[in-house]
Amino acid sequence: MTDSGRFVTGALMALISLLGLVLAAGAVDAGMEIFGLGLFVFGVLFIFQLIRQAYEPEEN
């Protein structure tokens, strides 16, 4: 993936993570709260994976 592709993907995942926090904060039942927190955790882990891939040495 190119650097610009990683940037765009990271920005979209940040928005999805924020959406998860909004869902969890406004949840009226446990299911929606768990889904929102899960969405947040998934987004953060995905962003960390993008960072790891960017700094990982390339294979020959």
What is the number of structural domains in the chain?
A: 1
Is pTM beyond 0.95? Reply is no
Give, to the nearest 10 degrees, the angle between helix 30-55 and helix 3-25. 160
Phi, psi values for residue 59, rounded to 5°: -80, 150
Q: Specify if 60 maps to a domain.
A: no
Q: Specify if 49 maps to a domain.
A: yes
Q: What is the per-residue pLDDT for 60?
A: 67
Enumerate residues 6+ apart whose C-beta is below 8 A from 14: 43, 47
Model pLDDT for residues 4-43, shown as the tens digit of each residue: 889 999 999 999 999 999 999 999 999 999 999 999 999 9
pLDDT band at 2 (very low <50, low <70, confident <90, very high): confident
Q: Specify if 50 maps to a domain.
A: yes
Range of the domain at 13: 3-55
Nearest to 3 by CA among 57, 53, 58: 53
Model pLDDT for residues 34-53, shown as the tens digit of each residue: 999 999 999 999 999 999 98
- How far apart CA 46 and CA 14 sit, in angstroms, is 9
In the block, which residue shows the tokens 């993907």? 9
